[in-house]
Amino acid sequence: MKHTKIICTIGPASLDVSLLRKMYSSGMDAVRINTVHGDIDQYESIIKTVRMIADIPIIMDVKGPDLRVSLINDLLVEKGTRIWVGFSKKEMVSFTGDCYKDVKIGDWIHFEDGILESKVIKKQRHKICIEFIKKGILKDKKNVSVIGRRLTIPSLTKNDLVCIMLAKRLKIDYIALSYTRDAEDILNLRKLIGKSDIGIIAKIENPDGLKSIDPIIEAAQGVMVARGSLGVELPLQKVPMIQKSIIKKCIAKGKLVITATQMLESMINNHRPTRAEASDVANAILDGSDAIMLSGETAIGKYPVKTVEVMASIAKEVELNVGCQLCNESSSDLSDAITNSVYSLCQKTHIDHILILTKTGHTARMMSRFRSGKMLIAVTPDQNVKRKLHLFFGVFPVFFKAPVLDMGLHAILYCYHEKILSKRDIVVCTGGMYTEKPMMSNLIHVQKVSDLIRYKDN
């Protein structure tokens, strides 16, 4: 079983039902919908199709305080080309957010993750004049970065609000907030989500998000390291260590962490990745990512199925060398002590799998932190929890409403009958038993499956 999870962005190249089935069978663990492109009807169609194929997590990626360029037709620019940019759809070229007051003469503005660079030359009549530094094509809906500036644009757009309503109605598992700046952005989104149990993933894409990374991790259910935008907003050489730091912080807190952007970029047009891309995927796994994400590779690429196969094969090979990255600190928290003891037990004696009884998913998330190399069979009576857990490293979630009495034994037998466990397996069972306190682990039970079968038969 592959322990690292693969998220695929769905787009024109992968809308076909048969292609989605092949991607799933090749190793796709979750689906991302990028709401920068497409429309509500298309999103709803994708959601219903995915639900028909497999019970896997769906992530809806909303724009947030994201700035995009809007133009009628793609524009070829030369070095020295100057254009006027407005902030209304009536203009030939405009930005999707009004940042006129924030932008200063002399500021650098980058397009499409730095592929095109320009400089602000003039400002007048609520427009800015920019001059391009090199030849290229300015494309519609590509991201815009005003280097070194915090933009005072709303954290959510009107389209975001419509998408959030759809997410609530169709019970989407996660909403990813682009350009998260601080914990307040997360809390504002949480208020809009209301009583829904949709998880929030904070996309870290700029210096503001980095400055507030600790409170963001506390407020969100997960973090996405969006290296493309980070590499534009910050010096390129800083991104690898930022990636490692964010992943380490998320693991320590038991929060979902996703590494994204340009992982197998060349496979948009080629059936094989570069060696550098293969190494990049490998390093993201070795750093401790729960999940790695494909964007344009599966949304608009020529080889979406092959790309998933390649990423899965790299993951299976590399994750054999993933080890525990948690500091060995003593804790007064009983749940921490339980999960630490389970990991220690697995290191010192022969255990085949870890079976986790969980209502909220907490014990499974805490156990996943150790990157033990064992399959974590998370048995839960909640379908929503089951889907969410599917994104965590090494977690194999199972939906089963076990009787309260001897819950662990019933769960083991169920997994045996479903051929998840074999007779010869030795499992350690953990979770919370006979307690009303949420997110509380208090159980360690080691069981040989064959002994339990004999006991039951007698």
Q: Which residues does the annotation mark as catalytic?
A: 32, 68, 203, 261
Contact status, residue 260 vs residue 290, Cβ threshold 8 Å:
no
Q: Fill in the DSSP letter of residue 1.
A: -
**Beta bridge partner(s), residue 327:** none
- Rounded CA Rg of the chain: 23
Q: Fill in the DSSP letter of residue 370.
A: T
Residue 269: other Cβ atoms inside 10 A: 11
Distance CA 351, CA 68 (A): 51
**Beta bridge partner(s), residue 447:** 427
Q: What is the 3-state secondary structure (H, E, C) of 170-196?
A: CCCCEEEECCCCCHHHHHHHHHHHCCC
The candidate with the shortest Cα–Cα distance to 144, out of 209, 67, 235, is 67
Q: Is 184 exposed, middle or buried (CB count within 10 Å of its CB: 0-12, 13-18, 19+)?
A: middle
Question: What phi and psi values does residue 357 have, to the nearest 5 degrees?
Answer: -95, 120
Q: Map tokens 């069979």 to a residue.
A: 377
Six-digit token string for 448: 């040989």
Q: Map tokens 């133009």 to a residue.
A: 71
Q: Map tokens 């490998």 to a residue.
A: 282
Measured between its terminal Cα atoms, the distance across the chain in Å is 33
Q: Which amino acid is at 202?
A: A
Residue 233's contacts (CB-CB under 8 Å, 6 or more residues apart) are: 145, 147, 205, 206, 207
